[in-house]
Each structure stands twice: as structure tokens, then as C-alpha cells.
Amino acid sequence: MKRILSLVLCAGMVLIGGSGCGKSAKDTPYQKTNIAMGTMVTQTIYAEGADELASHIDILLQQLETEELSYRLPDSKVSKINQSLGNGETPVIQAPLDTYIQDCLKLWEQSDGALDITLGKVVSLWNIDTYSANGGEGFEVPSKEAIEEALSQAGMEKIHLQNNLVPQDDQTTQQNSQPSSQFTFDGPVSLDLGAVGKGIALDRIHDVLMEGGASAAIIQVGGSVLTYGEKPNGQPFKVAVVNPLDTGKQLGYLSLKGQWCVSTSGDYERYVEKDGVRYHHILDPKTGYPVDNELCSVTILAKNGFLSDALSTACFVCGTKTGMELAKACEVEALFVNKNGELTMTEGMQKIFVENKQ
């Protein structure tokens, strides 16, 4: 329960408004909240048979975590890739993971290395997810040597895209099969797609809503929110942004119509405090330590979940100035909150964000 409460309080955004509960009709939203992908999931769906759609989404999230993305669960595709790399084999990476990795490679380049999905060993070494969930019990700052060692096995320059090769079959390694991997790796890097997982989930959920004929929905998966369709009353969706300096309060909200994805990365989402220092879950790939800049949160508004999630992490690592340039280059809207509570926004965000008057 403690864990669930902390997830509710720490999710980067909250959904505002919505009425009705548990009904399934086109003009009354069906609402459901549970835990999936290690975080709080809130679904508000306007559709005939919305309860079935919500169950479908539950199963989708469960499968996405256990079968595809989790680096902690041994049977997921990401874990199998990591195991292959650890055994010195070249893994076969199939769709859609290959596309996610390619898209991450592009953003790694564009962000000058800020988004790096090969940090798995460094992330595991810090293990902030576990310690933030158990209140920091037993947490020790890893030694400099251990961080350097883990960091030496990271870096997306170690991933090479082989352009003309296409996956052929369902095997996990190249042994006994045609050369079919699209990627080769220099050494046993360890993939962690935690920075993009919730956004990928939103993109998959979008497809389920569309196929299921939903007229409108607002779905929150941890720090990422999808808005979809138009509410029966024609009113915009309101996606609140948490005040990172006082997580029980809201800074304001984004007023949105139609399909959007909003992701927030913040130093308050998962962290441990030790000797007065906050160690949070977003790491600087250059140092292997939690990012230590002027920021405490970044919110990105984009047309798809992958981009919003990837860029909220990347822009947090980059800091306000470079992060603003990155957001503009990627044609997304961004809101940066620094440790003094000052806001910096792209032009488009200024039109959409409604600040709470305190």
C-alpha cells in the first residue's frame, strides 16, 4: 500500500476532472486504476464496451513488460538480448524492438548521448527503483570503481546498425540461422528501455483504443499520459503537471484536444536520500551518476508516446538550455522546472499550459 500511495503521489502528472465510475457507455467514461509496468495506471475511456477495452489494455501492459521490455524479468525479449550479449553472442532483434532501438540511436545522436539505452549495468548497480520503493533500506552509494566498471560496458557507440540485413526467424541468436541481426554490438552492453517504455505503452494503447472504436480516452501510465479523441461534451482534456518541489500540489495543467502524449521526467519520481543527498533514477551517461543540474522536472508534449517519453528523459539530462534546443529540433513542446521553481517553456507550450495561480 505504501508503494501504491507513493506511486500516486509521485507520478509526474495527474488527470483532472472526469465523471462517472464503472459505467460503460459512450458519454459516460469508464474509469479504472491499477498497477502495471511497476507504476500506477489510470484509464478513463468513453466507448461502448469500455470495460473490455480497459481489460485488453491491462493485458497489453502486462505482456509488454513481461514478454518484451523488462530487463529485470528473465523471459522478456530485452532480457534475452542482454543474456545473448553476456554470452558473447549476436542477438537477433525482431520488430518492433529493432525499430525502438533504431529510434533510440537517432535520439542518442541528436541528444549528444543524453538518451542512452545501454546504461543497464549502471542502472542495476544503483538500483534506485528498488530502494525508492522500500524507503531506501540498505541503500549504499556505489563505489567510484564500480560505477566506472559498469559505465565502461555502456555507450550507444557500441551498437552498429547493419543496414541490409533483415530478421528471418524467431531465434534469439544467430547460431544455426542466416545472418539476420540488424545490429552488432561491441561487447556485452546491457539494454534498459526504461526511459521509453511508458511511451511505447501509450502508442500501443492508442492502437487498441482505435481498433476498439473508443470515442475518447485519457490514459496515464506513470509519468506518461495519452489523450485520445473528443470528449462527448467537447471540452478539452486537462493533464495536470505536478509541482516537483511540492509533489502534493500542481503547477498547472495542459489543456489538450485530440490525440497527444505528455511525459514528465523528474528527480522526485524515484529517488533515495542518503546523508542529505538525493540520488534519483535519471543518470548522466557521461558520469554514471544521477543527473546533477539545475532541473527538477521536464514535461514534453508530443504526437506520440515514444517521442514524449524519450525526450523527457533526454531533455532532463541535457539541462534547460540544450534541452530547449533539442525539443525545438524534434518539434515537440517542452516545460522545464528548475530547482528554484522557475519555468521555461517553448512557445507552443506557453499557449497550452495553464498555470495555477497560488
In the complex, the residues that contact Mg ion under the rule CB under 5 A are 195, 309, 312-313
Q: How far is the CB of 77 from ligand AMP (least distance, A)?
A: 16
Q: How far is the CB of 119 from ligand AMP (least distance, A)?
A: 5
Would you state the cell numbers that stand for residue 245, as one nine-digit string? 518541489
Of the residues 32, 77, 238, 281, which one makes contact with ligand AMP according to CB under 6 A: 281
Phi, psi for 150 (deg, rounded to 5):
-65, -40
Q: How far is the CB of 168 from ligand AMP (least distance, A)?
A: 30
DSSP 8-state secondary structure symbol assigned to residue 118? T
Give burial (CB, 10 Å; 0-12/13-18/19+) of 52: middle
Does residue 156 bind ligand AMP (CB under 6 A)? no
Question: 332 with 300: CB under 8 angstroms?
Answer: yes
Nearest to 154 by CA among 124, 180, 130: 124
Of the residues 223, 229, 305, 323, which one makes contact with ligand AMP according to CB under 6 A: 223
Span near ligand AMP by CB under 6 A; candidates 56-64, 170-178, 241-249, 306-314: 306-314
- Give the Cβ contact number of residue 170 at 10 Å: 8
Nearer to Mg ion by Cβ, of 264 and 346: the residue is 264
What residue has cell string 483504443? 209
Question: Strands 260-266 and 295-302, how do they pair?
Answer: antiparallel
Q: Which residues 6+ apart lie within 8 Å of 20 measured at CB?
A: 28, 29, 30, 31
The closest residue (CB) to Mg ion is 313
Looking at residues 311 to 330 of the shown chain, list those that interact with ligand AMP (rule: CB under 6 A): 312-313, 317
Question: 221 with 198: CB under 8 angstroms?
Answer: yes
Span near ligand AMP by CB under 6 A; candidates 24-32, 37-45, 117-125, 323-331: 117-125
Number of residues near ligand AMP (by CB under 6 A) = 20
Q: How far is the CB of 182 from ligand AMP (least distance, A)?
A: 20
Does residue 203 bind ligand AMP (CB under 6 A)? no
**Which of ligand AMP, Mg ion, none binds 333 (CB below 5-8 Å, type-dependent)?**
none
Does residue 116 bind ligand AMP (CB under 6 A)? yes
Nearer to Mg ion by Cβ, of 182 and 265: the residue is 265
Looking at residues 237 to 266 of the shown chain, list those that interact with ligand AMP (rule: CB under 6 A): 265
Nearest to 123 by CA among 167, 154, 77: 154
Nearest to 170 by CA among 99, 103, 95, 61: 95
Nearer to Mg ion by Cβ, of 243 and 312: the residue is 312
Span near ligand AMP by CB under 6 A; candidates 18-26, 74-82, 170-178, 192-200: 192-200
> How far is Cα 264 from Cα 262, in angstroms, rounded to an integer?
7
Q: What is the DSSP string of 177-237?
A: S-S--SEEESS--B---TTTHHHHHHHHHHHHHHHTT-SEEEEEETTEEEEEE--TT-PPE
Nearer to ligand AMP by Cβ, of 93 and 310: the residue is 310
Residues near ligand AMP, by CB under 6 A = 114-117, 119, 123, 192, 194-195, 223, 265, 269, 281-283, 285, 309, 312-313, 317
